Amino acid sequence: MHQKPHFQLYIDGAWTEGARGQVMHSQNPATGQDWSSFACAAPEDVDRAVSAARRSLDDPAWRDMTQTARGKLLFKLAELIEENAGHLGQLETTDSGKLLAETASQTAYVGDYYRYYAGLADKIEGAVLPIDKPDMHVFTKREPIGVVVAIVPWNAQMFLTATKLGPAIAAGCSVVLKASEIAPAPMLEFARLIDEAGFPPGVVSVITGDAENCAIPLTRHPDVDRIAFTGGPETARHVVRNSAENFAVTTLELGGKSPIIVFEDANLDGAANGLIAGNFGASGQSCVAGSRGLIHRPILEALVDKIEEKMKGVAIGDPLETATHIGPLCTAAQVERIQATLAKATEQGARIRFGGKPLNRPGNFLAPTLVECASPETETLKVEMFGPVMSLLPFDTEEEAIALANDSQFGLGSGVFTENVARAHRVSSRLKSGICWINTYRAVSPIAPFGGYNQSGYGREAGIEAIHDYTRTKTVWLNTSEQPMSNPFVMR
């Protein structure tokens, strides 16, 4: 009988089981069967990982490593990731149900994120200040913020790890990486590359576990200086409350309900492709899913027809097969939650044009679904679906489109499809979102920052400025006078 793989925690440069022996099992979403097990961290493991991270900051092996040398470690890690992208992609696909074509290519691409921050490692600079006092030389320097806790979800874990780990390491921090207890296999395997790259012990630890034994003691730990969290708003509220215990600097990249506005002058093929990519790419399991399609009324039917035509050739099936376009959802609970939301939407007058049902096969498969909504209050326009559900709502004027787009508690992504350049600039400037794609969707780059407005969080990841979020500014005053410091009780 084939033995199921088992994944351990990586703490302080060593592989280990959890201190209390807790083990969880992971299901293959394409089959519904257990395929692996993994160790879960207990509070003792959390303390060991954070203590090792704190100790590494004072270890000459890391403390005295030049910024250029830190960059070389990241370059090495990027090479290892690319060499192992296929293997990591297979693990991620088996564990989460995402398409192998996406997981392998996305994993390979995140190597560019590590290279980007590797190149920035020795370009973290201070400044000499033109101070208003004589005989004073004053300058600033940027120092590592300290121990970083990086918490990533299962749906884009290699990418979301790179946007945190890359700048943190470049800045000279130490990191405890907490993988989701849902589908953590690729992150625990990724720790092997950390080890192979040659990071000093304690600089990076990789753990996972449940909220009570892992996440809560980790985010409350008194030795944590910074928390970088990606996940849902409800969990984020707990993270923020926990950070009150240690005053850790916190950034949040949360959920979304992103609008895609299609004007009547848009290229319909491009707009249909954008809506399909924004809703059915990654089976809709994306925080930037463009799940609120706002369509100029005169082209609604023509656009729906085009979407329906394009979807006829879409293959749903085994995510490990290259011919598959859409795979299963990660968990059975997602399928159940989406069905309940669709049922409420139909009660509100929404019309399901296609899909809306689970597939008659093993695994967590839901047919791609298109919903024509009767009003802005339709449930599928309000709730983050995290599945392959496209909701369309017509509008009549540009002002109405902007108002509908901004009528959301979220504000992560947005899209605009129009051939009118002036309109593109005008509308994008008024959309309350951290990202706006024009005549495209879901494009990312290590050079471009991303993050949200409103309940989509605060702070930015990627881009040159993100590295400063992992540093503290120190101001140094140097008295250059040959005379001793003056008597402090004599005012001049």
8-42: per-residue pLDDT in tens?
A: 999 999 999 999 999 999 999 999 999 999 999 99
Please choose, from the candidates 226, 218, 230, the residue with its C-alpha nearest in 3D space to the C-alpha of residue 248.
226
The span from the CA of 179 to the CA of 181, in Å, is 6
Strand 127-129 with 136-144, pairing? antiparallel
Q: How far apart are CA 217 and CA 224, in angstroms?
A: 11
- Mean pLDDT over the full length of the chain: 96
Query: What pairs with residue 7 in β-bridges?
Result: 38
pLDDT at residue 304 is higher than 80: yes
Check if 379 is active-site: no
Q: What is the pTM of this model?
A: 0.95
Instruction: Report all structural domains of the chain as residue ranges with CATH numbers, in order of start.
Output: 6-254+452-476 (3.40.605.10), 259-438 (3.40.309.10)
- CB hemisphere CA count around 275 (13 angstroms): 34
For residues 372 and 351, the answer to whether their CB atoms sit within 8 Å is: yes
Among 102, 181, 253, 372, the one annotated catalytic: 253
Per-residue pLDDT band at 492 (split at 50, 70, 90): low
Q: What is the pLDDT of residue 1?
A: 47
Three-state secondary structure string covering 65-122:
CCHHHHHHHHHHHHHHHHHCHHHHHHHHHHHHCCCHHHHHHHHHHHHHHHHHHHHHHH
φ/ψ bin of 32: left (φ > 0), alpha (ψ from -120 to 50), beta (otherwise): left
**Element housing 220 (H / E):** helix 216-220
**pLDDT (mean) for 1-5:** 77
For 10, half-sphere exposure in the C-beta direction (CA atoms, 13 angstrom radius) is: 28
